[in-house]
Amino acid sequence: MAYLFTSESVSEGHPDKVADQISDALLDNFLAFDPQSKVACETLVTTGQVVLAGEVKSNTYLDVQQIARDVVNKIGYTKGAYQFSGDSCGVISLIHEQSQDINQGVDRENKEEQGAGDQGMMFGYATSETANFMPLALDISHKILIELAALRREEKEITYLRPDSKSQVTIEYSDDNVPQKIVAIVVSTQHDDFDQDEKMLAKIKSDIINILIPRVKAQLPGYIQELFNDDIIYHINPTGKFVIGGPHGDSGLTGRKIIVDTYGGKGAHGGGAFSGKDPSKVDRSAAYAARHIAKNLVAAGIADEVLVQVSYAIGVVKPTSIYVNTFGSSKLNMTDGEIAEQVINLFDMRPAAIEKRLKLRNPIYSETAAYGHMGREPQTITKVFESPYSGKKEIEVELFTWEKLDMVEEVRKAFGFTEEA
């Protein structure tokens, strides 16, 4: 019997994502001026207020208030009507120095012997159902909101949009896990106030279905476009008006959208958030490394679906375990346990080795803080950072290194595998 699976996404203007973006902007600035910074920044946003908290060990000093304001303005909260604006909100910093008790377990004289920044388990996942090896429902949910934000900034076809929005996509699968059709799409978008409620709500629904969805569909390959159909159930702003939104409508906190950040409920999640944490925190770095492993295994043709789990003890260099699950989709005459043994030999999962392999001691994190940390396009860009205390700095960085398919041939060689075998 066919089954349904649903994933959601939230926009860059969602209050929790505002908090994530501020936390990662602070992290990037610390790393730009001191690459060895240890950072764990948390952000709270609410009506007219930004509260910064957390622990930092760094040789640089930042104007954290201005960095937070710049992020808020860039997202689009620039008007007094939003009750939250980068130019007028209060910014309170409660950031203090990192605990020496934690630091002693992480820093080592020999960098390669750096211990894990915390205990816990992290997961990476990949599936062959999309070109970027991401779950399809989540991939479409992200694309809907990315395109909605583009329409908001263009101010041409849809001129009433405000920054806060959410999406959700439900897909019907066959018993053999093949997507059959899109069953439902939910979009809730913040908008300007208006007088005629029913007339305007009808316009919003029409614009989403007739302007936004075709633009999203046009970006997708043909086999996914075919999943769109005339029977899709659309829920557009199902509660009615959505004028009060963003941090004025709901408070936002760093790390509350961990499923949106990863795999939309497919695979698994270890529970640790990403944003605001430097790569010594394996919550973040090991989750990226596990995605890198899973994606390269699927891309190499080892299996159609792979879940990788890695676990650590705080201050201990080597992982306490590495687990692989192919969900019965393996193309090899090997158990998942035997595949895991090869993975241990192929990928060095010590924290310092992960940092080096994926180039994580660079200011690359602001770009991850909205629309998912996984499934993104690797690229090299130049970023500019300015500080009233340290001047201006231009840095060339490589984004989303964990999405690179740079281990495919080594994986195939290690497993003695060819697609024809």
Q: Specify binding-site residues.
A: 14, 16, 42, 55, 98, 164-166, 241-242, 250, 256-257, 273, 277, 281
Cα distance between residue 182 and residue 202, in whole Å: 22
Instruction: Count Cβ atoms below 10 Å from residue 377 Cβ, excluding itself.
Output: 8
> What would the DSSP string read from start to end of 73-101?
HHHT---GGGT--TTT-EEEEEEEEPPHH
In 210-273, which ranges are E strands?
233-236, 252-253
> What would the DSSP string read from start to end of 24-68?
HHHHHHHHHH-TT-EEEEEEEEETTEEEEEEEEE-S----HHHHH
Binding residue positions for ATP: 14, 164-166, 241-242, 250, 256-257, 273, 277
Binding residue positions for L-methionine: 55, 98, 250, 281
Q: Which helix (H) or strand (E) holds 292?
A: helix 282-299
Tokens matching residue 105? 């377990």
The answer for residues whose C-beta is within 8 angstroms of residue 245's C-beta and 6 or more apart is 13, 82, 162, 163, 164, 190
Cα distance between residue 95 and residue 340, in whole Å: 40
Instruction: Count Cβ atoms below 10 Å from residue 238 Cβ, excluding itself.
Output: 11
Binding residue positions for Mg(2+): 16
145, 10 contact by CB (below 8 A): yes
First to last CA, the chain: 32
396, 33 contact by CB (below 8 A): no
Binding residue positions for K(+): 42
* The Cα angle at residue 385 between residues 40 and 52, in degrees rounded to 5: 30
The answer for residues whose C-beta is within 8 angstroms of residue 356's C-beta and 6 or more apart is none
Cα distance between residue 108 and residue 174, in whole Å: 51
- The pair phi, psi for residue 337, each rounded to 5°, is -65, -40
- Cα–Cα distances in angstroms (integers) from residue 70 to residues 31, 73, 83, 88, in the given order: 18, 5, 16, 11
> Which among 271, 350, 288, 278 is positioned nearest to 313, based on CA atoms?
350
Q: Which residue has the tokens 């604006």?
A: 85
266, 138 contact by CB (below 8 A): yes
The answer for residues whose C-beta is within 8 angstroms of residue 239's C-beta and 6 or more apart is 188
